[in-house]
Amino acid sequence: MRKNINIGLCGFGAMGKVHSFAVNNLDFYYKELPFSASVRGLCTTNVEKASDIARLYGFGYAAKSEDELIADESIDAIDICTPNIYHFETVKKAIAAGKHVYCEKPLCVTADEARELAALAEKSGLICNIVFNNRHLAPIKRAKQLIDEGRIGRVLSFSAEYLHNSCTDINRPAGWKQNRDICGGGVLFDLGSHAIDLIRFLCGDFLEVSGRSQIGFASRKGADGDIWQTNADEAFYMTALLECGAVGTITVSKLVNGANDDLSFAIYGEKGSMKFSLMQPNFLYFYDATEKPSDFGGNTGYTAIECVGRYAAPGGTFPSPKAPADWLRGHVGGMYEFLNSVYTGKQSAPTFLDGCRVQEIMEAAYRSDKTGAFEKVERK
């Protein structure tokens, strides 16, 4: 009989729904798992709403509070999908109660809080993962493999962008991710954390950064429909120096008309280059500079590596190794890695320490935005 991992889900906005999808569909994507998983309990700010959601999606029950959920001895892991400012206290309570933790990014809102949570997680021996779902896409895994094999050589430079159009309409009421009082930051926290994590994952740690924020519209409709003064960055522009010596740029913005969920990067090395775009998630583009041109070009130029659904075992069987990839696949992969770690007792990445490092980089970028100078990334 397979061990079932019971999950307590905190929050059911867009990410709560995505995480639930991942939990409920693991057996389709991964062959013959030695464990099963289910959402045992749910809590939101509205108990009646939570009860309706639990009935609709077949969750065990709706808790009156996160404390009730965390105290439930039948629950093995707490999945945190609440706004950023609540992560710190919820994680601390969950770890104190002996629960494994799966936490949405960013880990919290300050580097000091992130360091405390990373230390608590390590000391506890519990499985604690942060959700950087893009790491689990097949092209990203292939990019990491090529870099680790030395195929592009020493990294010289890079660029990364994460672009949305969600702040271009000033008549659209602002959501909590646009409110610094709830988000803790702005677009740098929301989109920037993903872009920073990918560059750090692929190229290594950051030494120092220069950052500049932008608010495109000083006033817009607030959540209540009244005019509201924008208090969080709607775009952020960063230059970074990495430990490997590479220099590059990261641009994140919700002010881009024509964008949807446009995450992309390019990495340039001594022996080759690579490019990826989330809007074309089936391919990684790889340039091998060791290939010499011949008549009609020979084998030079960028190669489109068809990553599609070709995941390593036990994944890659659904819907087919040849089937096009989709955005949800990264979240399914992240949930699998977390729950498989809970089952095996072996911590997988990305860990809370990864979340902490990203937090430290973002904090340095915000300091730079105030000072106008390059700021060192403080790692304590």
- Which of the four pLDDT bands, split at 50, 70 and 90, describes residue 158? very high
Tokens of 167: 């702040």
pLDDT tens per residue, range 30-65: 999 999 999 999 999 999 999 999 999 999 999 999
Residue 372 tokens read as 């106008």
Quote helix, strand, coil % in the chain, to nearest 5.
Answer: 35, 25, 35
Residues 126-136 have a mean pLDDT of 98
Taking the C-alpha atoms of residue 342 and residue 7, their distance in angstroms, rounded to an integer, is 11
Q: CA dist 177 to 127, 173, 174, 185, 276, Å?
A: 27, 11, 8, 8, 26
- Quick one: how far is CA 14 from the chain centroid? 14
pLDDT at 286 over 90: yes
Strands 206-214 and 235-242: antiparallel
How crowded is the C-beta side of 374, counted as CA atoms within 13 Å?
A: 10
Q: How confident is the model at residue 268, as a pLDDT?
A: 98
pLDDT tens digits, one per residue of 318-339: 999 999 988 999 999 999 999 9
Residue 107 contacts by C-beta under 8 Å, 6 or more apart in sequence? 87, 91, 113, 114, 117, 118, 130, 352, 355, 356, 358, 359
Copy the structure tokens of residue 335. 């949930």
pLDDT at 308: 96
- DSSP lists the bridge partners of residue 37 as 5
pLDDT class of 380 with cuts at 50, 70, 90: confident
Bridge partners (DSSP) listed for residue 212:
237
Separation of alpha carbons 147 and 52, rounded Å:
47
Looking at the chain, the whole-number percentage of residues with pLDDT higher than 70 is 100
Residue 226 class from Cβ within 10 Å (0-12 exposed, 13-18 middle, 19+ buried)? exposed
Model pLDDT, residue 1: 78
Surface-to-core class of residue 261, CB atoms within 10 Å of its CB (0-12 exposed, 13-18 middle, 19+ buried): middle
d(CA 190, CA 263): 12
Which tokens hold the place of 284?
Answer: 């990684």
Tell me the DSSP string of 325-358. P-THHHHHHHHHHHHHHHHHT---SSBHHHHHHH
Q: Looking at the predicted structure, is the pLDDT value of residue 139 above 90?
A: yes
Average pLDDT over residues 295-305: 93
User: Can you give the pTM of this predicted structure?
Assistant: 0.97
Average pLDDT of the segment spanning 164-179: 93
- Give the C-alpha separation, 281 to 312, whole Å: 17
Q: What is residue 312's DSSP assignment? A: P
What is the per-residue pLDDT for 186?
A: 97
